Amino acid sequence: MPIECRISNGTFFCEKLSHQDIIEACQRKLKVAPTPLFVYSKAQIVKNIRMYLDALKLLDCESQLNYAVKANPNFSLLRLIRSQGASATLISGNEIRLALEAGFEPTLMMYNGGGKCQWETQLAIEHNLLINVDSLWDLKQTLDICRNGFPETRTARLLLRINLNIDSSVHNFVNTGKADSKFGLSEKESEACLELLEQPGCPAELVGLHSHLGSTIYQSDVFRLSLERLLEYRSKLVSRGFIKVSLINIGGGLGIDYKLLEFETKAWQSESEDNKKNILQLKEFLLNLEEDQTDGCSRKNILSSLSAYVNESIAFEDLRLATTVFLSTNKHLGSKVEQICSSLTAPKPVHATPLDLIQSVSDLLKGKDVKLIIEPGRSIVANSSAVIARILGCKQSSEKRFIILDVSMTEIIRPCLYGAYHHVTILNNSDSSNKMEKKVFNVVGPVCESSDFLAQNRMLPDTCEGYAIIHDVGAYCYSMASNYNVRMRPAEVLVDGHDCILIRRPDTYEDFMAPYKEI
């Protein structure tokens, strides 16, 4: 399925509009600064939601798709997501308010969180949201509000978030399923919660179980393991008398392939030590071959490419292509050379899709009187957006070259916070960037922090002007943006075919000063 935010012949396109079209629309029609600018594709968001909903139809049970609002809470995007048939998962009282205002059905909304304030839980109970219990004190607070927070006692609909001690093999900062995580109930706390819920007159009913293992998960096997354990636990609860436990929420966390285009800009400095060893071993092997043992042209080409890659004048994609051609014309060399070349020609890991996720668990749900809930966020919005940034200039220190953009860690904090990868494409107005000499650069912003980088050790065109595209920024970028260095958060626009619509104006200095003046 084609991606709506893409590069074609050196030009960025979002649906039908090029980056030049979008910049012109910002200047003439929308009257906002054209860079930095978050650009979203309506069609991509709709496609991503449809992939989940179509997959869920394959299940032999009821199902529900909840969008994790924390990924991107833009109000226009929320209304779009709601219109496509998704509900919402919330993590704060203000997210609840936002989802209500966006028109989501309250009884389908899920309120998560390990640190709920009283007013937030009261708001959730008032609107009959599903509430995920994360700790014993969380449950005690909820029951107290049910009894004392309203003129008459209310009944809360609860799920227990169970810590299943499953390692999803992701960055520690987004790994939420292990035993040492702050999220979820241990076996001991779960039992204490059940004992409270069993007490006569308890103003709550247990309707489900929940587990969320983490974020940027690229394989579906951990979701299957999670569901197996939740279903096993549900059986025990039903036998114990909790007969209304029918909601099984396996959370979200499915990732996207942020590194889909990585080979285009991958440089020697970014290689693992094992890969460097293999590349140098291949070069030595080829140099020691007699000329009549190989196709001369392809041998010369791959040796040239190996030297160029090690000397950082080409990207990995160029070396990979030369290696593939060499292997195809020199099959007689056998398995030894294929083994040496394997790190250069091996396919990239395949990321699980929504269909893969659902197919991996579908057999577990046959004949089960349950409703499956999933809570994706990143995989709904991440690849729907890119940032258009302007190149302010470039510089070289004694050891590094830098391209400096007008976007920074204040808008895209993931590389700084998690060491996350975002692909960067350099566009240039005066010439084709593909024809320019390429060098290894760090891509940085203007913020006064050494951690203000967007990309490191990338093979990019050697230019100090034009525009850059930061890919896949729809999730956990704008939602985590800040005003550090008194930087103003930029505008957001939604592209719908040929139309470019402003869905959030940029911050102004007056916005920043208002809380200080209005006291």
Do residues 18 and 52 make contact, with C-beta atoms less than 8 angstroms apart?
A: no
- The pLDDT of residue 408 is 98
| Cα(238)–Cα(515) distance, integer angstroms | 52
Give domain limits for the chain.
5-41+382-517, 47-258+350-381, 262-345
Q: Indicate the pTM of the whole model.
A: 0.93
Which architecture does CATH list for 47-258+350-381? Alpha-Beta Barrel (3.20)
Structural tokens at position 386: 């890119």
Domain 5-41+382-517 matches domain 47-258+350-381 at the CATH topology level: no
Structural tokens at position 36: 């930095």
Burial per residue of 75-98, b for 16 or more beta-carbon CB atoms within 10 angstroms, e otherwise: ebbbebbbebebbbbbbbbebbeb
Long-range contacts of 224-231 (CB under 8 A, 24+ apart): 224/360, 224/361, 224/364, 225/164, 225/166, 226/164, 226/166, 226/177, 226/250, 226/251, 227/361, 227/364, 227/365, 227/372, 228/364, 229/162, 229/164, 229/166, 230/162, 230/164, 231/364, 231/368, 231/370
Structural tokens at position 406: 């007008």
| Cα(192)–Cα(197) distance, integer angstroms | 9
**Catalytic residue flag (residue 448):** yes
Query: Hey, is 434 helix, strand or coil?
Result: helix
Strands 401-405, 110-111: parallel, antiparallel or unpaired by DSSP?
Answer: unpaired
Structural tokens at position 433: 């960037």
What's the chain's length in residues?
519
- The pLDDT of residue 342 is 73
- The pLDDT of residue 377 is 97
| Cα(236)–Cα(239) distance, integer angstroms | 5
Mean pLDDT by 10 residues, the chain (519 residues): 88 97 95 96 98 97 98 99 98 98 98 96 98 96 98 98 73 57 83 96 97 79 90 96 97 91 94 88 82 69 91 92 82 70 76 93 95 97 98 93 98 95 86 73 97 97 95 98 98 98 97 92
Structural tokens at position 473: 């920024």
Of 202, 416, 448, 477, the catalytic one is 448
Which architecture does CATH list for 5-41+382-517? Beta Barrel (2.40)
- The pLDDT of residue 302 is 86
- The pLDDT of residue 262 is 94
- The pLDDT of residue 296 is 65
